[in-house]
Amino acid sequence: MNEFNRNLQTSINVQRQANLIWSVADILRGLYKPHEYGKVILPMTVIKRLHDTLKPTRDAVLNVAKKTENMNETMRNKMLTKASGYSFYNTNLYTFETLLADPANIETNFRAYLNGFSENMQDILANFKFDLEISNLAENDRLFYVIQEFSKKEVDLGPDKMTSTDMGYVFEELVRKFSESYNEEAGAHFTSRDVIYLMTDLLLVEDQDTLTGKDVVKTVYDQTMGTSQMLSAMTERIHEMNESAEVATFGQELNPETYAIAKADTMIRGGNPDNMALGSTLSKDAFEGYTFDYCISNPPFGIDWKSDQNAVKAEHELGENGRFGVGLPRISDGQLLFQLNGISKLKETGRMAIIHNGSALFSGNPGAGESLIRQYVIENDWLEAIVQLPNDLFYNTGISTYIWIITKNKTQERQGKVQLIDASKMFEKRRKNIGEKRVDISEECRDMIVKAYGEFTNDEYYLDERVVESKIFDNEEFGFTRVTVESPLKDENGEIERKKNGDPKPDPKLRDTEDIPLTEDIDDYFEREVLPFNPDAWMDRSKDKIGYEIPFTRLFYKYTAPEPSEVIAERIKKLEESIVANFQALSGKDVENVD
């Protein structure tokens, strides 16, 4: 099955299951407001997923549980996990089906069932804060009906029916529905599959040699993991290249519910749940001292970091001993802090793909945090490429977005260079919009973008009329010196006022600055660009500041000559003739003397 058909089948499967689960909302209506449905539906979906995952080995687990009742906890836990085939288990006798056989005691029995899960699963359930909702559902005679809906044969969420990837997108489809009902930013929770696959392929295309052979072990980190779909996709892609490769995933998430989903998914995939952390990446680094082969993430942009301010500033004061010693961006937008965190987590051979909006390219004056961070990344020769994505690609925003590829170990041909790729026109329109998402990056579109990246040359790549353009620049081309230009203060007679030492006094009102590229000599530039227009001007070099920006739009600008006036006139004439003809047809009157 090719990728298109596989994705189509996945989409159908995901949509069907999400709709089936969403139908539980009919039971909750009246007791909960629409934006509160997730308090019940999300934890119930996770619990049913766990239930169906453990179903095939349930009898074996119960048998071992009975035999090991008097055994010490450590040995008993090992034997139970071996029997279940997973790192978790449930020793309770109830199933979703048998719970329905005793409606009068459904709350007590359901709680007993949940308490039967192993200790490592209790943390996941606790993060949903589901205990209060169970009481609320039971007191209002809804718990039985909710469990009944999830017990339907069609709602089979076992891994043999729903892959980890499919299940992740079921969760994210549900999150999107809840977010829409409350006007929340659904895109803050997840990134669509087409974007993730492009990110994974850009990360892995340069590493094909290191991913082949035996004993391949790779680590992947997502600092804002949501429901962990980027981690799942990276694992999937690496295994497509090498089935025997061992992939360890690590992630941190701020939202307790999405963290719980991610941790449960990791356990079902056979990953280590201890590698999943809850809390703010910026103020509570759960992986201090760790480094990884790959970092992949879509951090929030345009979101302030006020709640992390004290911890971030304290770490900034540590200088090189902290993640944020380079500089701090404006408090209103913390996206570049995540870039710094990601860089700190890369091995010396590590690679990172991270999504930013346009402000990360140019915001901040020379010497300000944003510019200092760009300077840090470019002067260390870590910025490998930036890919401009199509607009209308994300669920919650239609603005321009960019994938930054950062690596600690560039290939020889890329050293001292940055590749910019304009892929804004490489997309397929969706037949049906999902929020703000109106376009997709199809497999063919993705292949064209990856090809442009891999060939690393100045060229254009066409798919029908769609085009990807690649340009290569030297690192220094993004840097400039902001030089202060002074003009003399003059008296009412137009004479230059001077200091005691004879130097002219500067006029603050006429003070200006010039951004002079690092590739140019400053004195030559000043003589060529300033003095011919202001012969009395001079530079105050004590105020020089180095800045870095990436003027993506300007670098890809193409001049389009205006239409000749005679062509415009001819078009206007035809429009006038059309208007006259329509008027005559409607009124039945002739219009005379029309030029």
DSSP labels for 219-272? EEEETT-TTSHHHHHHHHHHHHH-TT-EEEEEEEESSHHHHHHHHHHHHHTT--
Instruction: Give pLDDT, residue 11.
Output: 60
How many C-beta neighbours within 10 Å does residue 100 have?
16
Gap between the Cα atoms of 17 and 4, Å rounded: 20
Task: Tell me the Ramachandran region of residue 311: left when phi exceeds 0, alpha when psi lies from -120 to 50, beta otherwise.
Answer: alpha
Name the more confident of 587 and 352: 352
**Which residue's entry shows tokens 């890329």?**
414
Check if the beta carbon of residue 261 is closer than 8 Å to that of residue 189: no
Q: Is the pLDDT of residue 9 over 70?
A: no
Helix then strand then coil, % of the chain, to nearest 5: 45, 20, 35
Cβ partners under 8 Å of residue 405, min gap 6: 202, 203, 351, 352, 353, 383, 384, 385, 386, 387, 453
Check whether 186 has a pLDDT greater than 50.
no
Q: Using one digit for the tens of pLDDT, what is the confidence trace for 498-542?
A: 999 999 999 999 999 999 999 999 999 999 999 999 999 999 999
d(CA 243, CA 287): 27
Nearest to 336 by CA among 381, 306, 304, 292: 304
Angle at 398 between CA 392 and CA 404, to 5 degrees: 85
Residue of 383, 380, 372, 359 lying closest to 327 (CA atoms)? 372
* Confidence band, pLDDT 50/70/90 cuts, at residue 564: confident
The CA angle 355-360-362, to the nearest 5 degrees, is 145
Sequence spans of domains, the chain: 3-181, 193-476, 478-554, 563-587
Q: What digits encode the pLDDT tens for the residues 152-174?
A: 988 899 988 888 878 877 877 78
Both tokens assigned to 213 = 């052979």
Question: Counting Cβ atoms within 10 Å, is residue 175 exposed (0-12), middle (13-18) or buried (19+)?
Answer: buried
Banded pLDDT at 3 (limits 50, 70, 90): low
β-pairing verdict for 276-278 and 246-253:
parallel
Q: Are the C-beta atoms of 262 and 272 separated by less than 8 Å?
A: no
Q: Which of 95, 196, 108 is nearest to 151 (CA)?
A: 95
> Cβ distance 173 to 45 under 8 Å?
no
C-alpha separations of 137 from 131, 132, 143, 580 in Å: 10, 9, 5, 70
pLDDT band at 436 (very low <50, low <70, confident <90, very high): confident
Mean pLDDT for 266-279 is: 91
DSSP letters, 370-436, are HHHHHHHHHHTT-EEEEEEPPSS-SSS--S-EEEEEEESS--GGGTTEEEEEE-TT--EEEEEEETT
> Residue 311 has which token pair?
């911890």
564 Cβ contact partners less than 8 Å away, ≥ 6 residues apart: none
Stretch 94-116: mean pLDDT = 96
Q: What is the pTM of this model?
A: 0.87
Residue 8 scores a pLDDT above 60: no
Residues 206-254: tens digit of each pLDDT: 888 889 888 999 999 999 998 898 999 999 999 999 999 999 999 999 9
Confidence of residue 399 (pLDDT cuts 50, 70, 90): confident
Question: If we measure between CA atoms, which residue out of 268, 301, 357 comes closest to residue 50?
Answer: 268
Q: Which of 185-194, 384-393, 474-483 has the lowest mean pLDDT?
A: 185-194
What pLDDT, on the 0 to 100 scale, is given for residue 594? 46
Contact 43, 149 (CB under 8 A): no
Contact status, residue 171 vs residue 139, Cβ threshold 8 Å:
no
The mean predicted confidence, pLDDT, of the chain is 91
Q: What is the pLDDT of residue 190?
A: 65
Percent of the chain with pLDDT over 70: 95
* 48 alpha-carbon distance from chain centroid: 28
The β-bridge partners of 420 are 386, 471
| Dist. CA 586–CA 244, nearest whole Å | 76
- Note whether 381 and 475 are within 8 A (CB): yes
Which fold, 193-476? Rossmann fold (3.40.50)
pLDDT tens per residue across span 24-67: 989 999 999 888 888 999 999 999 999 999 999 999 999 999 99
CA distances from 560 to 149, 557, 564 (A): 60, 9, 12
The tens digit of pLDDT for each residue in 567-580 reads 888 888 888 888 88
Residue type, 69: E
Identify the pLDDT of residue 187. Answer: 42
pLDDT recorded at residue 185: 46
DSSP β-ladder status, 217-222 and 292-297: parallel
pLDDT of residue 10: 56
Q: Which of 174-183, 340-349, 543-552, 569-578 has the lowest mean pLDDT?
A: 174-183
Contact 430/438 with Cβ under 8 angstroms? Answer: yes
* Residue 484, φ and ψ in degrees, nearest 5: -85, 125
- Residue 213, Ramachandran bin (φ over 0: left; ψ between -120 and 50: alpha; else beta): left
What is the phi/psi pair of residue 116, to 5°?
A: -75, -15
**How long a stretch of residues is the chain?**
595
